[in-house]
Amino acid sequence: MRVAVLSDIHANLTALDAVLAAVPSVDEVWHLGDVVGYGPNPDEVVARLRELGAVGVRGNHDAAALGGREIESFNVDARRAAEWTRTAIADETRAWLSAQPETLEREGFLLVHGSPRDPIWEYITSTPVARAAMADLGKRSGLHGHTHLPVAYVEDDGRLETMSPGSGSRLSFDGRRVLLNPGSVGQPRDGIPTAGWMLLDTDAGTATWRRTAFDIATVQAAMTRLALPERLVTRLAYGL
């Protein structure tokens, strides 16, 4: 099965549409949560994913938009954006977000936003945490988001190798278990201001990371019109 894996879209319709225009023909679209939050177009992004029949999992910003207590641990800008999102989203958007599970198993992969042991919140940002996540996955491989950083952990003879894939990087699993992060579509944080995503071929056992430029000024103008926090507007230009 050929799959486009999208994470942390964060209500950035401009970035999502640029990515969808670049996606070759795939069998399915999987998302890894944080579909909303930060960005200006939560309803439109969810509508797109619904049209595509995308399947995926709930992120901390999605939970916050649904009224969860997650919002209490957000910084001031994330909190303001989440409060706006709560009041802005349509009932159909809320219903779709509510239907997203915390974990989803598909084609031998466990999909989570954060980590297998804490699907909503834990950041996999170090080898020890990645090693714990690999143990929790059992025989499965994993896909995660949340950090907004493209990364691959590959289990090789009991060792865990870490890779930071760039645009066009391709990984052949060769029967090894992997834990992969496609990066963020709507708010990249690796210093490269283009949408990050991944093509997964579950039959061939390969993943290819991609970056797609989007019209940052359009997103920034929409955020400014909605009085979303200035720092969130500015950071898009730097990919941080």
Give phi and psi for 129, each to the nearest 5. -70, -40
Given the structure tokens 């297998």, which residue do they identify? 116
Of the pair 34, 190, the CB lying nearest Zn ion is at 34
Least separation in angstroms between residue 138's CB and Zn ion is: 26
Helix 91-98 and helix 42-52, axial crossing angle in degrees, nearest 10: 60
Q: Give the sign of the dihedral formed by CA 49, CA 55, CA 61, CA 62.
A: positive
Least separation in angstroms between residue 10's CB and Zn ion is: 6
- By the 10 Å C-beta count (0-12 exposed, 13-18 middle, 19+ buried), 176 is classed as middle
The stretch among 7-15, 40-48, 196-204, 230-238 that binds Zn ion (CB under 5 A) is 7-15
Of the pair 76, 91, the CB lying nearest Zn ion is at 76
DSSP state letter for 38: S
Least separation in angstroms between residue 60's CB and Zn ion is: 7
Of the pair 173, 196, the CB lying nearest Zn ion is at 196
How far is C-alpha 115 from the chain's CA centre?
Answer: 13
CB count, 10 Å around CB of 94?
A: 18
Of the pair 154, 180, the CB lying nearest Zn ion is at 180
Least separation in angstroms between residue 145's CB and Zn ion is: 6
**Residues 93 and 123: beta-carbon distance below 8 Å:** no
The stretch among 8-16, 155-163, 204-212, 231-239 that binds Zn ion (CB under 5 A) is 8-16
Least separation in angstroms between residue 234's CB and Zn ion is: 17
Of the pair 114, 165, the CB lying nearest Zn ion is at 114
Which of 4, 8, 70, 209 forms a contact with Zn ion (CB under 5 A)? 8
Question: Which residues between 16 and 75 bind Zn ion (CB under 5 A)?
Answer: 34
Of the pair 7, 93, the CB lying nearest Zn ion is at 7
- For residues 223 and 218, what is the distance between their CA atoms, to the nearest angstrom? 9
Give the total of residues touching Zn ion (CB under 5 A). 2
- By the 10 Å C-beta count (0-12 exposed, 13-18 middle, 19+ buried), 28 is classed as middle
Least separation in angstroms between residue 187's CB and Zn ion is: 7
Contact positions vs Zn ion (CB under 5 A)? 8, 34
